[in-house]
Amino acid sequence: MALDYYASGAWDEVTLRENRAGFEQIKLRPRMLVDVSQRDLSTQILDQSLPIPILVAPMAFQCLANPEGELATARAAAEVGAIMVLSTMSTKPLEAVALAGKQSQQKQEATSEIKNPSWFQLYVHRDRTLTRRLVERAEAAGFSALCLTVDAPVLGCRERDRRNQFTLPVGMELANLATMTGLEIPKTAGESGLLSYFAQQIDPALTWRDLEWLQSITTLPVLVKGILRGDDALKALDHGAKGIIVSNHGGRQLDSAIASIDALPEVVAAVGNHLPVLIDGGIRRGTDVLKALALGASAVLVGRPVLWGLAVAGVAGVRHVLQLLRDELDIAMALSGCTKVKDIDSSLVKIKD
């Protein structure tokens, strides 16, 4: 059940596969005879200096992979200097996750420039008082940004979860919600409990006005996650978003939706230099990070590989995955004639016809 929950996509999993295929269609055009003896992978997003342009994507229920769950991921991300985006649906409380990241950060001189190693991903519930309280808790705990997920007004049909009648095992809970309201993933005969939860609790009437409402109740910058079109990117800009995350939810929402990497150029062209544009979906190698940066992304978010590392070896596993991506990006930059992230531009890539 846990493996299928992590690995699956919606319906026929076409978009899940296309997220990888999209990267594989992009070819690199390296520059030669550039002095790459010194390289700098650092970048800046939302006035934060980051050692690497790699973040951990929000992923629910991480205790399914390891008993320490989100705490382990937060510690490892902070050690490497990668911002972790914590899911609303975490199985460890947001306050504890923020503290774990801060404590690990304080031990790492290399990440001393990061104001806080964590952002918070938000699902807007029908109960706006509950939603407001989540935002207040995230801000009080020291999270430095909010990521509003907009591509899940209802949950995509994940047939593996339906077959397994997905629910959380005994002893595991929605740590950010259970203590506030008693909310839990129901056991639903013949159906995914998560699908039932979304149908009952998540607000399907969310509009751009709600983005303005969210910004009115917090001082944190709000990024919009789940954008795949240039016109939606412009609406996000017009309604005050401070960043955009190009995402199709890892192929888990609308099957046959465009691959994230294929949507990226249109979104970047729409907002220009007005907003940072990040991307998730299908990133498995340092060369994928390079390709995304070349097509205009400010940084990438990595999901499933982090979960596999977490399942194998907890903190050490997540740290190893992130270090692999960092080191691969470093080598890819050197072999492409890039000494810093700003050197990476669209001349480095060719999209196969």
Just list the catalytic residues. 249
Q: Is 286 helix (H, G, I), strand (E, B) or coil?
A: helix
User: What is the distance between the alpha carbons of residues 126 and 123, in angstroms, rounded to a whole number?
Assistant: 10
Q: Is 39 annotated as a binding residue?
A: no
Q: Is there a binding annotation on residue 284?
A: yes
Strands, E assignment, 16-134: 26-28, 43-45, 48-50, 54-56, 84-86, 118-122
Q: Is 249 annotated as contributing to ligand binding?
A: yes
Amino acid at 233: A
H-assigned helices in 147-229: 159-164, 178-181, 193-201, 208-216
Q: Is 247 marked within a binding site? A: yes
121 annotated among ligand-binding-site residues: yes
| Residue 75, marked binder | no
Task: Measure the CA–CA gap between 36 and 153, rounded to whole angstroms.
Answer: 46
Q: Is 269 annotated as a binding residue?
A: no
Contacts of 214 (CB under 8 A, 6+ apart): 122, 124, 135, 146, 148, 222
281 is in an annotated binding site: yes
Return the ∠ at Cα 139 (arms to 96 and 185), rounded to 5°. 55
Residue 59 among known ligand-binding residues: yes
Is 31 a known ligand-binding residue?
A: no
Which DSSP category does 259 fall into?
A: P
Which residues are annotated as part of the binding site for FMN? 58-60, 87, 121, 149, 158, 225, 247, 280-284, 303-304
Residues marked as binding for glyoxylate? 5, 123, 249, 252
Binding-site residue numbers are 5, 58-60, 87, 121, 123, 149, 158, 225, 247, 249, 252, 280-284, 303-304
